[in-house]
A = this chain, B = another copy of it.
């Protein structure tokens, strides 16, 4: 029974070797060699190999996190939370599900992606689709008119998963929002600054934050001759420009959504605009746009936003882009989206020309997005009282995917525990002495492990320290016990020295400091 388990363990390890080689696209012969080893191991198990009672899996679009993945995840969270706290945010939490009616009518076409709970008697419930609507519900319910909060939690969407690209049905959002009646662009610019800080610190490569304005989009639609009642549906067509050619988006506008070809072509002219303040000034002079109050308001606010971004020293990361639309219905002002460069998919447009256009490929690595939503809280208030809000959501699955791939490629061993000391029995029949010593170390807040075998082999114990990167072994033998001391061993250098029991805690602390600084 034990042998069988050992072989299965070897098969698992060998399977990982093969998978890794394949992922790295190693040379064919190397792979074949390792596959052969794997098959040999499998043969050892004979014909009675595993045949499961039922499929053991996570639900579609979801995943487990193993300890290595959790280490990476904790690192990412620490960076994000530190940034949110650096900007003075508090944090809140809300339930994973909401009354169904709270979510109704907030997500436009995407509402079909909401997970409902079965009606088992009582209230009708749905899993949250994002953290923004629960936040708005929280503000309205508690009559809060000013708050700066972050919220890190999982959200749920019955979308088509693409897990290798970091698209899941259960995924984390890290949201930072500022609610309150303030002056133009001051909270908005801070949100953009936060995205820039986090993506810079995560060090996952070059990125750009595209910004646009819902008022400018609406003003532009109006100037192009889009009927008022088609604004939202044309907007969601524009939203597809980061993944689709203009020709296809145009076809959707004209053929599916009944827009006139002339209006669509006028939109096609505008969505090519991207750049900085000078591009905004050029658009302010545009004959069509300058007649629209909405468009002018949007352009002026964007100018102010870019000015503030300049003061925040993030101008090189921020670019105005009239083709950015964002899917959700509730945005009312500035919108933004951060994309990693170097994760390119399709070019935005096959056609040429256009002022301020940059002929670079558009990355699909959207890792953060957000904007201003001044009307959402009012939807929950009996009097419709509005609480202006602006926020940003960092989507970390994509970031995890990149970091995991990187960790795998670099072959660096990630420690998944913080254990500082391993208490080793040098002989048999010392389990009670070991337990006593562990107790002393735990109570002194030293991270300590020991074998759960009564009489473990010395070699196995040292091996455990090396495999798990535990820096210190504290060894108990008969002579140590007689002399009221221990042998302290540095796992890395293998240097050993005797330490008296009275000095042990202090000596461990010193040793740990010296190991960390070396």
Residues of A within 8 A of B (CB): 1-2, 5, 8-9, 12, 48, 50-60, 62-67, 70, 73, 82, 85-99, 101-102, 115-120, 122-123, 125, 127, 137-138, 140-143, 145, 149, 154, 156, 158, 170, 178, 180-183, 186-187, 189-190, 193, 197, 308, 311-313, 380-383, 385, 416-419, 431-432, 435-436, 438-439, 442-443, 445-449, 452-454
Distance between A277 CB and nearest chain B CB, rounded to angstroms: 15
Contact with A89, one of B89, B158, B417 (Cβ below 8 angstroms): B417
- Distance between Cα atoms of A91 and B445 in the complex (Å): 19
Distance between A283 CB and nearest chain B CB, rounded to angstroms: 24
Contact with A453, one of B50, B158, B186 (Cβ below 8 angstroms): B186
Q: Is the CB of A57 within 8 A of B311?
A: no
Q: Is the CB of B95 within 8 A of A70?
A: no
Name the residue among A50, A59, A419, A431 with the largest chain B CB count within 10 angstroms: A59
Q: Is the CB of A59 within 8 A of B97?
A: yes
Q: Is the CB of A92 within 8 A of B70?
A: yes
Q: Is the CB of B5 within 8 A of A145?
A: yes
Distance between A365 CB and nearest chain B CB, rounded to angstroms: 23
- Distance between Cα atoms of A274 and B307 in the complex (Å): 74
Q: Is the CB of A90 within 8 A of B416?
A: yes
Q: Is the CB of A417 within 8 A of B90?
A: yes
- Distance between Cα atoms of A439 and B115 in the complex (Å): 41
Q: Is the CB of B311 within 8 A of A383?
A: no
Q: Is the CB of A9 within 8 A of B435?
A: no
Q: Is the CB of B120 within 8 A of A64?
A: no
Q: How many identical chains are in the complex?
A: 2
Q: Is the CB of B88 within 8 A of A419?
A: yes
The 10 closest A-B pairs by CB, nearest first: A182-B452, A67-B90, A62-B95, A88-B449, A65-B93, A311-B435, A56-B141, A183-B454, A116-B118, A90-B416
Which residue of B is nearest A453, CB measured? B183
Distance between A169 CB and nearest chain B CB, rounded to angstroms: 9
A431 to chain B: which residues have CB within 8 Å? 186
Name the residue among A5, A88, A382, A431 with the largest chain B CB count within 10 angstroms: A88
Q: A70-B93, A88-B449, A116-B118 are in contact. List 18 more A-B contacts (CB 8 A).
A: A5-B145, A8-B143, A50-B381, A56-B140, A58-B95, A59-B98, A64-B94, A65-B93, A65-B94, A73-B93, A85-B417, A86-B445, A87-B449, A96-B170, A183-B453, A186-B453, A189-B435, A193-B439
